[in-house]
Amino acid sequence: MARDVFHIPDDAGKQSEDKTKDGRMETIIYLNVSSAPHFTIFSTRLSGFFWENLPSLTFTVAILATQVFAMLISIFGVKGLTTAIGPGWGVSLLAVSLAYFILLDAVKVFVFRVWSFELTVRLWPTRARKERLRHRKERLVIEERVRTNVDKVRRASKVIYAASLFDKAGRRELPRLT
């Protein structure tokens, strides 16, 4: 897009010593390659939306600091390293990377909601996958049974506590509420 719409020369085949070399395309590509994967790290950590389980503050600051640094050296340029592209390009490239990150995060969540291990086993059945699926289903049955039993124990303990309160009330030993 930078080349075709904004007519930024791509300098393909030119050496760094060439006086006609523009260099902006290299800086644009650098900033894009730097920012897109960094934002994607926030999405690939989880199967849900990135904001549902935010990373630590240290991690977030480290990622954002590297992006600010990359954007600044791209905007202002560093002699012998990057050619200045200006704030318009710098900010817009980070904005596009951020927008794609949010879009891809939503696509990832949709795919995870549709695609399951059970679907994988149905589409590409192997003996190992079928065995893993059987073990998963057995584990889910056990977990559900445990959840049900824990709920029964909780209800029973509430009934016992209520009965003890009625017993104390009969003996006029009600606990004081503060």
- 74 Cβ neighbours under 8 A, 6+ residues apart: 27, 28, 30, 31, 82, 84, 85, 89, 90, 93
Lowest mean pLDDT among 6-10, 70-74, 94-98, 161-165: 6-10
- The answer to whether residues 31 and 71 touch, using CB atoms and an 8 Å cutoff, is yes
pLDDT band at 152 (very low <50, low <70, confident <90, very high): very high
User: How many residues would you count in the chain?
Assistant: 178
Q: How far apart are CA 59 and CA 82, in angstroms?
A: 26
Q: Report pLDDT for 15.
A: 58
pLDDT band at 2 (very low <50, low <70, confident <90, very high): low
36-54 per-position pLDDT tens digit? 888 888 888 888 898 888 8
Q: How far apart are CA 63 and CA 57, in angstroms?
A: 10
Lowest mean pLDDT among 16-25, 31-40, 63-72: 16-25
DSSP designation for 51:
G
136-148 per-position pLDDT tens digit? 999 999 999 999 9
Q: Report pLDDT for 55.
A: 86
Q: Is the pLDDT of residue 156 over 80?
A: yes
